[in-house]
């Protein structure tokens, strides 16, 4: 465990707070949930930057980083299903892609390489689109801004599926 890996693990500490405040009825609780979510999501950049800068890229980090990303994205998305903000089938598409690619990444028989594969640029764009969508869906915006969260969510679903296809296509 090095500093970048500890930062990765620390992102999980905000998840219970995000979920708790997301289920509260007040506007301030939604803003608190959004703030913690964005703070946790922003450390994804920091741990990767430090790992490269300090030359501390590890197999553990390449495994933990996408796992924590998935938990940080899927936790709020599941809560957003529960409160009626997103349809379950859209989240299911995201979940299915995430599980499939995670399995693909760590299976040397599929990748032809015993090392854990890092995310490609499409995977990074997908993660950013998911974070943006979740942020808009968590934020207690006026009704006139309502469609922005929905549009961002469906765009993230499309990018999630496209990035999955791109990830496995050259390896088939």
* Selection from 53-62, 86-95, 104-113 with the highest mean pLDDT: 86-95
Give pLDDT tens digits for 64-87: 888 898 899 999 999 999 999 999
In the chain the first and final C-alpha atoms are separated, in Å, by 34
**How far is Cα 163 from Cα 165, in angstroms, rounded to an integer?**
5
pLDDT band at 92 (very low <50, low <70, confident <90, very high): very high
**What's residue 112's pLDDT?**
59
E-assigned strand segments in 12-159:
none
pTM of the complete model: 0.85
Q: How high does pLDDT run on average in the chain?
A: 88
């Amino acid at each position: 465990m090095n500093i970048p890996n500890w930062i990765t693990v620390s992102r999980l500490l905000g998840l219970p707070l995000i979920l708790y405040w997301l289920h509260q009825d007040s506007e301030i609780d939604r803003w608190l949930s959004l703030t913690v979510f964005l703070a946790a999501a922003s450390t994804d950049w920091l741990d990767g930057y430090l790992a490269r800068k300090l030359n501390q890229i590890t197999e553990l980090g390449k495994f933990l980083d996408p796992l924590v990303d998935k938990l940080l994205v899927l936790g709020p998305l599941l809560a957003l299903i529960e409160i009626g903000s997103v349809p379950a089938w859209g989240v299911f598409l995201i979940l299915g892609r995430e599980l499939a690619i995670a399995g693909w990444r760590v299976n040397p028989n599929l990748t032809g390489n015993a090392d854990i594969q890092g995310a490609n640029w499409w995977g990074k764009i997908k993660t950013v689109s998911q974070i943006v969508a979740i942020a808009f869906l968590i934020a207690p915006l006026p009704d006139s801004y309502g469609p922005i969260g929905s549009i961002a969510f469906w765009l993230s679903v499309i990018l999630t599926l496209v990035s999955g296809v791109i990830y496995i296509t050259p390896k088939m």
